[in-house]
Amino acid sequence: MSRRDNWVVGINAVASALEHDVEHVREVLLEAGAKNPRLAGIEETARRREVPVRRVPLQSLEGIAGGLRHQGAIARYEAPRTHDEKDLAGLVEAAEGKALVLVLDGVQDPHNLGACLRTAAAAGVTAVVIPKDKAAPINATVRKVSAGAADRIPVVSVTNLARCLRGLKEQGVWIYGLDGGAAAGLHGTDLRGNVALVLGGEGEGLRRLTRETCDGLVRIPMPGEMESLNVSVATGVALFEAVRQREAV
């Protein structure tokens, strides 16, 4: 794990870590002399929850942030909070036939992953599944872009994505992969009940084995001249189509 992976950077990310995952926050660093009332609020929360707080020079924060926009607040974080693969079955079962799972097959840009997590939290997903290899880790950038979503929804990191999808099938979850060349359209697909939506990474899309494991492939209708959407945008379109269908029941 790189040094940056051990830090949560930015006001929203630090506040969210203190609110939702305080047991992993080891220390909060705030800009010395800064008058921002939100920094004072973070300091008050941290002290109330018995998390050490230090006021440090701006240069120190910039050195730790490594180019990320820290806004005067950084927290030292023990480890990213992800769920083990064995937790996924319980999460699906607890959804009582209405599980909505987002599966990201190799999203490597942390900004895209953070945006996907933020959208997933807004859509009320049951869990987000990511592979352990060839994918962005839940690091400081992801946590900042997600605006706290990385703390609010279960993120399940799996060793073998195809095996995980087969396990979901055994629980009665229908697996739909997003593919621009698919014959079936997203809006004509029944996304109620137990459903997992699988989106591929930047550039290559779904990997062959992932594609073959899906129950079906669907496309997002695009009457315009663009051939594809950014993965975070596609995630939003797909998840909120599922939300629309479920609320219409």
138 is in an annotated binding site: no
217 is in an annotated binding site: no
Give the full edge-to-edge strand order of the sheet including 25-31: 7-9, 73-77, 25-31, 53-56
Pairing mode, strands 73-77 and 7-9:
antiparallel
74 is in an annotated binding site: no
Interaxial angle between packed helices 161-170 and 85-94, expressed in degrees from 0 to 180 and rounded to the nearest 10: 30
CB 182 within 8 A of CB 219: yes
* Residue 218, token pair as written in the block: 């669907």
Annotated binding site: 200, 220, 229
Annotated binding site for S-adenosyl-L-methionine: 200, 220, 229
